Structure 1
């Protein structure tokens, strides 16, 4: 057994780490990916399925984003879930890269989402040439959404007082915002299963913005486990597209709208 283990190391085959992978998850509400109040959200559900598939032990710790990144930089955690690619953060840890150009391999994104525009039926607010048309009132966006800053920089009046997609849809239906910019997969699912909202709300544009987040690995962990790191990055999009995960996501949205 010892000889076989030594040979596997010499040949560069994957050897599972002895200790559990310590993953830092932001201590914030970003429904449905990350949810406080005792629920981990769809992102952690996805991560658990990935680690189960790879037969890896996982320890999840919740920290404020800045502390997560500090601990990652000092190798106190093994990974951070999940980060947009920025040159600054690429100095803190390791992203899955395409080649030597230093850009991320978007095929290995851990999480993806598309923001769609929603309006009340009969309203004419829309999205053309990367600009809103007919938007004269507040735009509803869920609390903590990264796109909020982008919209405000464009001069859009943003109302981010609602923490979940369903609350934003209810606010839109009640006329408290003129339109809402929401994760398309979640909003479409909720409209499909909420006839009262479906009767008054429609999708105005299917894709206003898209985003990708990556599993950011600690440099020490990556150096010790380069092959396993590639397997880990590759597993996320594969599991995310699986029917098993899609059922789990639908179950979460049904239980915690």
Structure 2
């Protein structure tokens, strides 16, 4: 074989190897979490409302062909620690109750509120503060208003409400923030139910997690074309995998290992590649 032939064959071999590796990677992404005989199981709950790209789909079903970045992250955590993972989708407030009672071992995505420490445990720094380096990710609450709204928000003060209510999702941390800002808050169950209230004039504004709100707006862009988003964010927070006190008391070492692995996976090249794939829709 000539040098050119050898180089061509080697190049073809490299391409075939890369395609095979990519195929194996794609197949791994499309699978439910790996199982490990004789190893502990971590039961995790999360919302029935989609929060793309962190998790997709509405209701209790999980589509493992494209479950979302947080589930992909936790799958990798399970593989690193050889821990079995069991996921269940429930309404947010029920998920909080399940963690509190020990019916489930973990819940995402939980922002830190001091009163939630009675419900479950967060990763902490040595001086007892929530450890943002071991958070799952960060996201923002934004304020949405209809066309022609007189509502103003400068990052410190809300104006133009005239006693009218701001909508928010029941159980979310933004409710307390809005009340501290002097707003009257009307809570509802989901963004898909709250946004129509905004269009109908029953709410002066609606405060929601940016990703969740964006999913509803994209689902019917014509209907929501008049809705605009005020800057800056109401708040930007770290969101954690909250673990139940029962789980932490039963196996503190494993609990800390899970939080440590979340930080390690989040910084890994493999997870960054996954994030890029989700970002470009592939």
Fold shared per TM-score above 0.5: yes
Alignment equivalent of 2:60, drawn from 38, 61, 82: 38
The Cα RMSD (Å) is: 3.9
For residues 83 and 123 of structure 1, do their structure 2 counterparts lie closer, same or farther at Cα, with a shift above 3 Å needed? Answer: closer
Is 1:142–1:160's contact at 8 Å kept on the other side of the alignment? yes
Q: CA deviation at 1:213?
A: 2.5
User: Which structure 1 residue ranges, 5 or more long, are not aligned?
Assistant: 1-15, 252-257
Counterpart of 1:68?
Answer: 99
What's the CA shift for 1:20? 4.1
1:139 counterpart residue number: 166
Counterpart pick for 2:153 among 119, 124, 127: 127
1:188 aligns to 2:214 (yes or no): yes
Residue 113 in 1 paired to residue 136 in 2? no
Pairs within 5 Å for 1:194-209: 194-209=220-235
Partner Cα distance (1:91, 1:141) in 2: 23
Query: In the alignment, which residue of structure 1 is the partner of 2:182?
Result: 155
Structure 1 contact 115–206 (Cα < 8 Å) conserved: no
CA distance in 2, matches of 1:52, 1:101: 30
Shift of 1:107: 2.9
Q: Indicate the residue corresponding to 2:41 in structure 1.
A: 21
Alignment-derived partner of residue 57 in structure 1 = 84
- Give the secondary-structure state (helix, strand or coil) at the position aligned to 1:188: helix
Structure with bigger RCO (C-alpha 8 Å, 6+ apart): 1
Q: 1:204 to 1:180 in 2, by over 3 A?
A: same
Are 2:143 and 2:208, in contact at CA under 8 Å, matched by a contact in 1? yes
Residue 150 of structure 1 and its aligned partner are, at CA, apart by 3.1
1:242 matched to 2:265: no
Q: 1:116 to 1:171 in 2, by over 3 A?
A: same
Q: Tell me the TM-score normalised to structure 1 length.
A: 0.67
Secondary structure of the residue aligned to 2:153 is strand
State the distance in 1 between where 2:37 and 2:255 align: 8
Task: Please give the secondary structure, in 2, of the residue aligned with 1:23.
Answer: strand
Contact 2:110 2:241 in 1 (8 A): yes
- Per mean C-alpha deviation after superposition, the further-off stretch among 130-139 and 49-58 is 49-58
> In the TM superposition, what whole-angstrom CA distance separates every residue of 1:27-78 from its partner, at most 9, and x where no partner exists?
x76664799842469xx8444312432424202356652442342xxxx865
Deviation track 1:83-132 (CA, whole Å, cap 9, x = no partner) reads 4445676688764334x222222132124321111111222211125121
Alignment gaps of 5+ in structure 2: 1-35
* Cα distance per residue 1:157-207 (max 9 Å; x no partner): 22223x322332222122221111111233235435533234311112240
- 1:123-162 C-alpha deviation (Å, 9 max, x unpaired): 221112512111122212123322223323443122223x
Q: Which sits farther off after the overlay, 102-111 or 126-135?
A: 102-111
**TM-score, normalised on structure 2?**
0.62
